[in-house]
Amino acid sequence: MENRLEHDAWWQTYLDQWTALPFHDLIAAVAILSTALLLGIVAARLACRYLLPALAPRHADVIAPRLMAITRAGVTALVLTAFLGVRGLNPGADLLLAAGLGIAVAVLAYEFGRALGLQSRPASLIAATLFLIVLASRLGGMTPLIAGLDRASMGVGTRRISLLDIVNAVGLSLLLFLAARALLGLILRGIGQARLLDAAQRVLFQKLAQIAVVTVAIFVGIDLLGIDLTALAVFSGAFGLAIGFGLQKTLGNLIAGLILLLDRSIKPGDVIAVGDTFGWVNKIGVRAVSVLTRDGKEHLIPNERLMTDEVENWSFSSRDVRVHVGFRVSFDCDLRLAQRLAVEAASVSPRVLTEPAPVCWIKEFGDNGVEFDLRIWIDSPEAGVGNVTSDVFFRIWDLFKEHGVTIPVPQRDLRFHSPPGGEMAPKAEPHR
């Protein structure tokens, strides 16, 4: 009852101060708010005009709205912080400035959270919390609010848990999440722009950075919250053993992925063939490697399979790949002319390399014609092989028709032999 009377008296004091606000103090407060907002708008436009082209010229259109909002809210909050507590102002005017400061801080937190990738609801929750904290600090400080949250508590075993503990845990978790996300974004961006690292090394260091940042954030949060894990030592050991057996394949794929990135046997962009799957590596994940085929299908192959199965890497040491194009001609054709025409047809194909130059050899004298093997080189296996061989076949067909080189058609001779005596044996009559 006594606390309720104190709260009513406290609220009545600020209500009286607001209703007794002189007109000139109200005009001064509105002028300060307008000046702070105007300075924020000017600073935002200057930042977009001079700062943004120097920091991110390629993404200026995307970043400009967010940068303007953050700069406008930040400068407004700084100006209002400088004017808070100015001597001579009525407490009601000071409260009006505090409300403006709370709004500016809330907008700044919301825009900054959205820039870090937070969804709208978590960012709004953080903004509302900061607004209440700023406003409460001007209505008598945070001490009454903290004392009230600490008094609302309940006992869980031998431990006392209050609303203040819950608020601290939630706030600390959000801060750690935002800090870890911002730090991880900077690290990943720095690794992605490192020119001394190739694609596989970038992916490896990015995965290690993610694991390290998340692990450090978890341990820092446990330490700051004061959670005692000694009582859970036995349980955590058994739980860890169960997870070890249950996630054996997952951990195996994780380790296999790290090994693949370390030895650089498979890198993003490589053209590989695993079993019946042929395509280029899109990305190397924690559990599987994404292989994109020419059909537009994305195959997720477990990392462990790439360590144990036979894998053909068409671009491991070089992107040049030799393709065999087989054909046959008739025995009565000019074989050297056919050889020269085949090389000419391959040389004018757009994707066939001129160095090494195409070569054509006689493979064997077959049953139906002379077998040739035309060998060509390409440097873009990810663009497909069938379209190259088809183009070369069409050009060979046109040149062969133009120069009279024929392609044999399989022929079979059927011979009928008469039985001894020169007459066909009569058919046997069926038994009636």
**pLDDT value at 330 more than 80:** yes
- Both structure tokens of 186: 């900077």
Q: What is the mean pLDDT of residues 365-380?
A: 89
Which pLDDT score, from 0 to 100, does residue 237 have?
Answer: 65
Q: Which of 48, 184, 190, 210 is nearest to 117 (CA)?
A: 184
pTM of the model: 0.43
Whether the Cβ atoms of residue 382 and residue 314 lie closer than 8 Å to each other: no
Q: Is residue 290 included in any domain, yes or no?
A: yes
Q: Are 78 and 133 members of one domain?
A: yes
The residues, any chain, with a CB within 8 Å of residue 173's CB and separated by 6 or more, are: 221
SS3 279: strand
Specify if 278 maps to a domain: yes
Per-residue pLDDT, 345: 92
Quick check: helix, strand or coil at residue 74?
Answer: helix
- The encoded tokens of residue 126 equal 């953080």
Predicted confidence band of residue 104 (pLDDT cuts 50, 70, 90) = confident
Does residue 223 fall inside a structural domain?
no
Confidence of residue 372 (pLDDT cuts 50, 70, 90): very high
In this structure, the answer to whether residues 295 and 360 fall within a common structural domain is no
pLDDT digits (tens, 9 = 90+) for 334-346: 999 999 999 999 9
SS3 125: helix
Per residue in 232-256, pLDDT tens?
565 566 656 666 666 677 777 777 7
What share of the chain in percent tops pLDDT 70?
72
Q: How sure is the predictor about 375, in pLDDT bands with cuts at 50, 70 and 90?
A: very high
Report the alpha-carbon distance of residue 23 to residue 5 in Å, rounded: 31
Of the listed ranges 120-134, 142-156, 391-405, the one predicted with least confidence: 142-156
Of 304, 315, 318, which Cα lies nearest the Cα of 272? 315
pLDDT of residue 11: 47
Same domain for 294 and 343, yes or no, is no
What pLDDT shows up at residue 374?
93
Mean pLDDT of 345-352: 90
Contacts of 331 (CB under 8 A, 6+ apart): 365, 369, 370, 408
Least confident residue range of 165-179, 239-253, 340-354, 386-400? 239-253
Higher pLDDT, 404 or 82: 404
**What distance in Å separates the CA atoms of residue 277 and residue 285, rounded to the nearest whole number?**
18
Question: C-alpha angle 6/12/14, rounded to 5°?
Answer: 110
Q: Are residues 100 and 43 in the same domain?
A: yes
Q: What angle is formed at CA 55 by the lines to CA 53 and CA 56, rounded to 5 degrees?
A: 70
Whether the CB-CB separation of 36 and 76 falls below 8 Å is answered with: yes
- Is the per-residue pLDDT at 426 higher than 60? no
Tell me how far apart the alpha carbons of residues 199 and 268 are, in angstroms, rounded to a whole number: 6
* Residue-averaged pLDDT of the chain: 76
Looking at the fold, whether 262 and 355 belong to one and the same domain comes out as no
Specify the pLDDT at position 191.
79
Q: Are 378 and 388 in contact (CB under 8 A)?
A: yes
Contact 183, 176 (CB under 8 A): no
Q: How far is CA 369 from the centre of its chain?
A: 55
| Residues 351 and 382 both lie in one domain | yes
Rounded distance, CA 222 to CA 117, Å?
24
Q: What is the pLDDT of residue 355?
A: 87
Specify burial of residue 85 (Cβ count, 10 A radius: 0-12, 13-18, 19+). Answer: exposed
Q: Which of 298, 313, 285, 315 is nearest to 203 (CA)?
A: 285
CATH number at residue 285: 2.30.30.60
Same-domain pairing of 133 and 41 = yes
Residue 411 lies in a domain: no
Q: Has residue 1 been placed in a domain?
A: no
For 268-288, write each residue's pLDDT tens digit. 878 888 887 888 888 877 778
Instruction: Judge if 272 and 329 occupy the same domain.
Output: no
**Can you read off the two tokens belonging to residue 270?**
């490589």
Structural domain contains residue 295: yes
Specify the higher pLDDT residue, 17 or 163: 163
Please indicate, yes or no, whether residues 20 and 137 belong to a single structural domain of this protein. Answer: yes
Query: How crowded is residue 336: how many other Cβ atoms within 10 Å of its Cβ?
Result: 9
The confidence score (pLDDT) of residue 427 equals 54
Identify the band that residue 18 occupies on the pLDDT scale cut at 50, 70 and 90: very low
pLDDT at 10 over 50: no
Does 319 or 85 have the greater pLDDT score? 319
Q: Which domain, by its residues, includes 51?
A: 11-141
pLDDT on residue 46: 83
Q: What is the pLDDT of residue 89?
A: 60
* CA gap 385, 294 in Å, rounded: 10
Reported confidence tier of residue 5, pLDDT bands at 50, 70, 90? very low
Which residues lie below 8 Å from residue 124, measured CB to CB, with a gap of 6+?
Answer: 110
Q: Which of 102, 121, 141 is the last residue of a domain?
A: 141
Q: Pick the residue with more confidence: 379 or 28? A: 379
Domain assignment present for residue 236? The answer is no
Residue 378 is assigned to a structural domain of this protein:
yes
Range of weakest confidence among 169-173, 199-203, 291-295, 374-378: 199-203
For the cut 50, the answer to whether the pLDDT of residue 385 exceeds it is yes
Average pLDDT over residues 131-143: 68
Closest CA to 44 of 33, 56, 52, 54: 52
Q: Are 258 and 287 in contact (CB under 8 A)?
A: no
Query: Does 137 share its domain with 20?
Result: yes
Are 143 and 131 in contact by the 8 Å Cβ rule? The answer is no
Specify the DSSP class assigned to residue 185: H
CATH assignment of the domain containing 359 = 3.30.70.100
What pLDDT, on a 0 to 100 scale, did the predictor assign at position 179? 79
- 117 with 181: CB under 8 angstroms? yes
Query: What stretches of 230-369 adopt beta strand conformation (E)?
Result: 271-274, 277-284, 288-293, 298-302, 312-313, 321-329, 359-365
Whether residues 293 and 353 share a domain: the answer is: no
Q: Tokens representing 68?
A: 């303007």
Looking up tokens 């054509």 gives 360
Arithmetic mean of pLDDT, 182-198: 77
The total number of structural domains in the chain stands at 3
User: Of residues 146 and 364, which shows the higher confidence score?
Assistant: 364
Q: How far apart are CA 312 and CA 270, in angstroms?
A: 10
346, burial (CB in 10 Å: exposed 0-12, middle 13-18, buried 19+): buried
Residues 40 and 116 in one domain: yes
